[in-house]
A and B are shown apart, each in its own frame.
Chain A
Amino acid sequence: MHHAYLDKYANQNSFFHRLDSRVKFLAALIYTILILSIPPRSAAVVFCYVVAPFGMLVWAGIPIGFVARRILAVSPFVLVLALSCPFFDQTPYLLRLGDITFQLSGGWMRCFTILAKFAATMLTLFALTCTTRFTDMLAGLQQMQCPSILIVQLSFVYRYLFVLVDRVHHILRARAARKLRYLGLRQEIRIAAIMIAALFIQSLESAERIYRAMQGRGFTGSFHALKPIRINRRDIYFIFVFIGICIFLHSIMRIWLNELNGV
Chain B
Amino acid sequence: MHMANELISFPVAGVSIGIAGGVLGWICKSIRQDIVSEKAAVMGVLGAFVFAAQMVNFQLPLMPGTSGHLIGAVFLAVILGPHLAAVVLSSVVIIQCLLFQDGGLLAIGCNLLNIAIIPSYIGYYVYRLAAGNMQNKSRYLAGAIVACVIAALAGSAMVVLQTTISGVLLIPPVLFLATMAGVHLLVGIMEGMITVAILGYLASVRPDLIAGLTASRAVLSRNGALISLAVMTLITAAGFSLLASDKPDGLEWSYLERPEQPDFKPVVANSDQRMDAADKLHSKIAVMPDYSLGNTSELHSASAGWTSVAGIVGSAVCMGLIWLTAKLIRPRRA
A residues touching B (Cβ–Cβ < 8 Å)? 1-2, 6-7, 28-29, 32-33, 36-42, 44-45, 47-48, 50-51, 54-55, 58-59, 61, 64, 70-71, 74, 77-78, 81-82, 84-85, 87-98, 101, 103-107, 109-110, 114, 117-118, 121-122, 124-126, 128-129, 134, 137, 147-150, 152-161, 163-165, 167-169, 171-172, 182, 184-185, 188-197, 199-201, 203-204, 206-208, 210-211, 214, 219-222, 250, 253-254, 256-261, 263
Contact = CB atoms under 8 A, between A and B. Distances in A.
Given A32-B5, A61-B330, A121-B5, A153 B56 contact: no
Contacts of A165: 48, 51-52, 55
A85 B95 CA distance: 31
Contacts of A121: 4-6, 104-106
A26 B322 CA distance: 24
Given A58-B326, A257-B288, A261-B291, A91 B269 contact: yes
Contact of B302 (A2, A94, A107): A94
Given A39-B288, A221-B33, A196 B106 contact: no
Nearest to B1: A77
A78 B6 contact: yes
A135 B282 CA distance: 36
A82 B169 CA distance: 7
Interface stretch (B39-47, B120-128, B225-233, B236-244): B39-47
Contacts of B7: 78, 81, 114
A163 B312 contact: no
A102 to B, nearest CB: 10
Contact of B198 (A85, A197, A253): A197
B142 interface: no
A78 to B, nearest CB: 5
Interface of B: 1-2, 4-7, 10, 24-25, 28-29, 31, 33-34, 36-38, 40-49, 51-53, 55-61, 64, 69-70, 87-88, 90-92, 94-95, 97-106, 163, 168-172, 193-194, 197-198, 200-202, 205-206, 209, 251, 256, 267-270, 279, 282-283, 285-292, 296, 299-309, 311-312, 314-315, 318-319, 322-323, 325-326, 330
Contact of B51 (A1, A74, A81, A259): A1
A89 B45 contact: no
A47 B267 contact: no
Contacts of B283: 39
A94 B44 contact: no
- Chain A binding surface SS class: helix
Nearest to B163: A81
Contact of B99 (A129, A184, A257): A129
Given A81-B169, A91-B300, A161-B51, 5 more contacts: A95-B304, A152-B44, A156-B48, A192-B57, A259-B307
Nearest to A10: B99
Contacts, number: 373
Given A91-B256, A201-B209, A214-B41, A97 B170 contact: no
Counting from the closest, the 7 A-B pairs by CB-CB distance are: A156-B44, A221-B37, A193-B197, A96-B303, A157-B47, A39-B290, A88-B170
Contacts of A82: 6
A46 to B, nearest CB: 10
A4 to B, nearest CB: 12
A95 B46 contact: no
Given A185-B61, A193-B201, A153 B91 contact: yes
B101 A156 contact: no
Contact of B6 (A6, A36, A125, A185): A36
Contacts of A36: 5-6, 10, 106
Given A90-B267, A149-B36, A197 B170 contact: no
Contact of B58 (A103, A104, A189, A206): A189
B312 A39 contact: no
B52 A221 contact: no
Contacts of B104: 32, 121-122, 125
15 contacts: A32-B106, A38-B288, A78-B7, A88-B170, A88-B251, A93-B302, A152-B36, A156-B45, A168-B55, A185-B58, A193-B194, A200-B53, A211-B38, A257-B289, A260-B305
B47 A48 contact: no
* Residue with the greatest number of chain A CB neighbours at <10 A, chosen from B60, B104, B206: B104
A92 B326 contact: no
B168 A109 contact: no
Contacts of B55: 1-2, 165, 168-169, 172
B170 A118 contact: no
B280 to A, nearest CB: 11
Given A44-B304, A164-B48, A94 B299 contact: yes
Given A94-B303, A107-B170, A185 B194 contact: no
